[in-house]
Amino acid sequence: MPETLLAAIMTVLMAAFLLVVALSRWAAKIHPKPDPWDKDVDTAVRQPDAVPICRKCLSPQFPTSWFCPECGTAVGRYNNCLPYVYVFSIGEVFTAGAWRKMPVNALTIVGFLLASISEYLIFAPVYWVRLWQNLFRIRKELFATLVDQ
């Protein structure tokens, strides 16, 4: 009996390993589309003298600043690596999921669910309630927009 159980466990592990290998090969073949803008804008953005802007209010930013002086959004390049500033960055992400308009698809929903579990642990369901309320609000606004057209 233990040999049968061992064989079953080994079979499941081998199947999982093959699945991971197949998924990683599939992911390696994916060529993501470049940024949503055209090549001219992409070239202009990548110039050395290009001025970084705040993603929220579009005001010019100093390359060394951590927060936008106009709206307070975390804009630094390495904010997610700094233990104290990281809290503000992740807070903006969760705020976007709970209160702001955002792209709704399976990836964003699963991402918010998993990220909230990793950040909030047992308190994650509290965040999920607000996330679902925001998703229904976004959906309701989308339907209202479609009806108006």
- Determine the angle formed by the axes of helices 106-120 and 124-148, rounding to 10 degrees: 160
The interface region with Zn ion, picked from 29-37, 44-52, 62-70, 83-91 by CB under 5 A, is: 62-70
The interface region with Zn ion, picked from 3-11, 39-47, 57-65, 99-107 by CB under 5 A, is: 57-65
Nearer to Zn ion, 102 or 124 (CB): 102
CB of 54 to Zn ion, least distance (A): 3
Nearer to Zn ion, 73 or 89 (CB): 73
**Which of 92, 91, 90, 64 lies closest to 78, judged by CA?**
64
Range 36-55, binding Zn ion (CB under 5 A): 54
Spatial distance between the Cα atoms of 130 and 115, rounded to a whole number of angstroms: 14
CB of 67 to Zn ion, least distance (A): 8
Residues 40 and 31 sit within 8 Å (Cβ to Cβ): no
Nearer to Zn ion, 22 or 71 (CB): 71
73 binds Zn ion (CB under 5 A): yes
CB of 66 to Zn ion, least distance (A): 12
Residue type, 98: A
Spatial distance between the Cα atoms of 73 and 43, rounded to a whole number of angstroms: 26
130 binds Zn ion (CB under 5 A): no
Spatial distance between the Cα atoms of 78 and 61, rounded to a whole number of angstroms: 14
At 90 the three-state DSSP class reads helix
